[in-house]
Structure 1
Amino acid sequence: MRVYLLYRLGLWLNALLPWALGVRVAAWGGAWHRRVCPADRAIVRSNLSVLLSEGIAENDPRIREVFRHFGWYLLEFFRGHRDDLHASISGYHHLLSAVRPRRGCIVLTGHVGNWELGAILLARAGWPISVVALSHTNPRVNGLFDDQRRRCGVGVIPFGPHAAAGCLRALQQGGVVGLAADRDYGTDGLPVQLAGHRWIVPRGPAVLSLRTGAPVLPTFFTRSSSGGFALSIEAPIWPPAGPWTDGEVMTLTQRYAQAIEGAVRRFPTQWLMFKPLGSVTP
């Protein structure tokens, strides 16, 4: 209940405060998260050390920046229904060329920048997009997130045993399916190399692509130092035609991981991953 009430308070402030003040309050919220969650703070420090190949001190300002970005992510997401969302877009032609009738495409991302706003921006551009979303432990908190996604025109496919069927249905209707693939929340993930470390990611994106023939487009929505946003859509990764093997699932999954690693290395303080890099178990 306490978590839900904190979110409700945040939503109330978000609706009340002007943007500039909201940004400051969100940054304060991120700083509060950093102070009260030493375990998350230690994980962020460890991950930055791995990504940047350098020792990161406990008081390194880049650690604080990660938590500020997390606060901004929440602020931006719950303002996503407003009309003032603008971003520069690169690689839009990749999306235009990838979708076919009765066979959509898979937009693959990680917890980098604001993945939720990336989906919202595509929905605003007229794309029928649905995202696979992990449910929050608190059903009332989960409702806040799913209601906001739907309010912004983004369909929700709950993570779980029926997610694959929902993804297949969306792709067969020529839609776009959004997947965050930098962490496996199931039990059958695959080990890949990420920043030189063994890391478990989901096999689902590769299996879905191979089963349907739908290409995977690595896509990332990030913030610039000036406060603007950028949506980057990379060239599609096409699955091989015909019967496929576990080896092809592994090969595709590693390619997806490399695309995510590229984004994470470009924007290390925007990677909102609170699980230690190098973990071998999901």
Structure 2
Amino acid sequence: MLPAWLLPERLWGPLWRGIARIPVFTNRRAIARSADTIQAALGEVDRRRAEGIARDLRAAIYEMRMQDLRAWRPGGWRPRMVLEGEQHLKDALALGKGAVLWLAPFVFNSGPTKIAIHEKGYRVSHLSSPQHGFSETRFGVSYLNRVRCIPEDRYLAERVVFDRHAPASAMRRLMRAVKSGNVASIVAASTEGSDLVKGPIFGGRLPVAIGAPRLAGLTGAPMLPVFTVRDPALGFRVIVEPPIVLDLHLAADERVVAAAAEFLRRSEPWVRRYPEQWRAWSKWRRA
């Protein structure tokens, strides 16, 4: 808490990247496994670069936790950020069917995405996992994860928590929000839902949660991919891309598989540019 409140934000990244390179603070086997995956997927990176990406990813995750704690300081956390592609969201909402945002699983997609879209005046209902935060234990879900969720909720119209025992209830709430002309956001990570498909990326396969295309198919709302990354020059970039058009001539299951493939195709350039910010490396498998 004290470093998060007292240290200037510009020092957070260098601090954690330095710590991630001290052997006692990192699991060398975990770094090696991540580096193996990164080399296999990207192909063109050497071993030193792959291990650097793995360590920088670990550092980014800890830096994100400092952002969560900084948000509790009076005045909150006010990052430097820019919302790009907002016109795509405006055009989608102008159709009168609401909009579905499909968020790519980058480290910094949580706080900056919610803040940037809220500050433009949009009402967002966000699908959230009970494990969103710091812990998957019963105690952590009940108490620790609130450290992240409570500050984020300032920027949401509602948080819809996914219940694996009653998945339809979350979908119904999101449908109501979208049919009211508002925005629903869903992360494509495999932790965000029970229905998954394996889509192609980097010559391999990745499990993708398909709640977003299911919601778009049920409501007719446009579905827009969103990529949130930190850029050294611009700060946090929240990029809204043009909609992924669902092929209504396909059966429902085929439709979501095609949507996942298109989402991953659009993800590749962003992952190549910011590989140390992509949280899905551990889920990627060779084809």
TM-score, normalised to structure 2's length?
A: 0.80
2:82 matches 1:88: yes
**SS, match of residue 236 in structure 1:** coil
Distance 2:121 2:3 in 1: 30
Residue aligning to 1:8: none
Which deviates the most, 161-170 or 101-110? 101-110
Q: Is the 8 A contact 1:119 1:178 kept in 2?
A: no
What is the SS of the residue equivalent to 1:167?
helix
2:267 to 260, 270, 277: 260
Distance 1:207 1:46 in 2: 34
Give the secondary structure class of the aligned counterpart of 2:78: coil
Q: Is the 8 A contact 1:210 1:244 kept in 2?
A: no
- 1:112 counterpart (106, 109, 123): 106
Matches of 1:63 and 1:210, distance apart in 2:
36
Match of 2:43 in 1: 53
Q: Which residue of 1 aligns with 2:120?
A: 125
- Structure 2 gaps, min length 5: none
Distance (whole Å) between structure 1 residues aligned to residue 79 and residue 199 of structure 2: 35
- Look up the equivalent residue of 1:257 and give its one-letter code: L
Cα displacement (A) at 1:187? 4.3
Structure 1, unmatched stretches of 5+, are 1-10
Q: CA deviation at 1:236?
A: 1.1
What is the number of equivalent residue pairs in this alignment? 270
Identity %: 21
Q: Residues of 2 paired with 1:67 and 1:34: CA distance?
A: 14
Does the 8 A contact of 2:230 with 2:236 survive in 1? yes
User: Residue 227 of structure 1: CA displacement?
Assistant: 6.6
Q: TM-score, normalised by structure 1?
A: 0.82
**Contact 2:39/2:47 (<8 A) preserved:** no
CA distance in structure 1 between the partners assigned to 2:179 and 2:173 by the alignment: 10
Distance verdict in 2 for CA 1:37–1:69, change over 3 Å: same
CA contact (8 A) 1:112 1:263 kept: no
* C-alpha distance in 1 between matches for 2:273 and 2:20: 21
Q: Which residue of 2 aligns with 1:5?
A: none
Q: Which amino acid aligns with 1:82?
A: G
Structure 2: distance between partners of 1:154 and 1:23: 31
Deviations 1:63-92 (A, max 9, x none): 222222222323334445736333233211
- The corresponding residue for 2:66 is 75
Q: Hey, what's the Cα distance between the residues in 1 that align with 2:56 and 2:99?
A: 33
Distance of aligned partners of 1:32 and 1:165 in 2 relative to their CA distance in 1, 3 Å threshold: farther
Q: 1:249 to 1:274 in 2, by over 3 A?
A: closer
Q: How large is the Cα RMSD of the aligned pairs?
A: 3.0
Instruction: Indicate conservation of the 8 Å contact 2:79/2:235, yes or no.
Output: no
Q: Which amino acid aligns with 1:126?
A: G
Q: 1:46 to 1:214 in 2, by over 3 A?
A: farther
Query: Which amino acid in structure 1 is aligned with residue 228 of structure 2?
Result: F
Instruction: Please state if 1:200 is matched with 2:195.
Output: no
Q: Return 75-84 or 40-49, whichever deviates more.
A: 75-84
Q: After superposing the two structures, state which structure 1 stretch, 33-42 or 132-141, moved more.
A: 33-42
Q: Which residue of 2 aligns with 1:3?
A: none
Q: Is the 8 A contact 2:103 2:185 kept in 1?
A: yes
Does residue 1:173 correspond to 2:173, yes or no?
Answer: no
